[in-house]
Amino acid sequence: MVVKVYGPLYGSPKRVLVCLVEKEVDFETVSIDVLKGEHKHPDFLKLQLASDSHYNTFARWFLNITNHGEATEAQEESRAIIRYDAEKYKSQGTNLLGKTIEERGLVEQWLEVEAHNFHPPSYNMVLHILFASVLGFPSDPKIIQESEEKLGKVLDRRASTWPVISSALLILATFRSLNTWWLIWGGSI
C-alpha cells in the first residue's frame, strides 16, 4: 500500500507526514508549489474531492494508488487525515489516540481548541511574518502582536487545565501546532 501526500513542503502536509512517521507508515510526497499556483493546475484539480479549487490545497493524500494512477481511497483536510491515520494504523507505531476514552477525549478536545482558537491567530502570524512580502502585501505589526497575545492566552489556558498525560498522547494533539512553531521560531521554507 502506498500513501501519497500532495502539497507544499510546509503547512498542513508536514503535520500529516509527522503522523505517518509516528505510525510507521511508508509514504511518498508530491510537492505542490502553491506560491506558483500549481494547486490550480488541471492535473491537481482533478484530484480534489471538493469543487472549490482553493479548498484544502495544503493537505491531500491517497492510499492504494492503482496502476492507472487512480486513488482507491482518498482523504482531504489535515485534521481529518491525522485522525484517520491515527485510527487506521492504531496497532502500529506510537499510540496517538490514548488508551482510554478519557484520553481520547482530551486529544479530540485539543484538536478542536486548535482548530477554533489556536489556528486563526497562528495562521495570521505566519501569513504576516513570512508570506506578506511574497504575496505582495505589507506585514501588519498590529495583527502580529494581537495574534501573539491570543496564542499566549490559548496556550496558558490549555496548560493550566490539562492533567498530566503521556507525552505520546500529546503528539497527535500537538501536530496541528508544529508548523507554526517550525515556521516562526527557527524553520525555513
* Model pLDDT for residues 10-45, shown as the tens digit of each residue: 777 888 888 899 999 998 888 888 778 887 788 777
Question: Which is more confident, 67 or 96?
Answer: 96
Domain boundaries, the chain: 3-88, 101-184
Q: What strands lie across the sheet with 27-31, from one edge to the other?
A: 27-31, 3-7, 60-65, 71-76
Question: Which is more confident, 162 or 34?
Answer: 34
Helices marked H in the chain — which ranges?
A: 12-22, 42-45, 78-88, 101-113, 119-126, 132-135, 141-161, 167-184
What is the CATH code of the structural domain delimited by 101-184?
A: 1.20.1050.10
Q: What is the pTM of this model?
A: 0.75
* Model pLDDT for residues 92-125, shown as the tens digit of each residue: 998 888 888 988 888 888 888 888 888 889 888 8
* Dist. CA 125–CA 120, nearest whole Å: 9
What is the CATH code of the structural domain delimited by 3-88?
A: 3.40.30.10
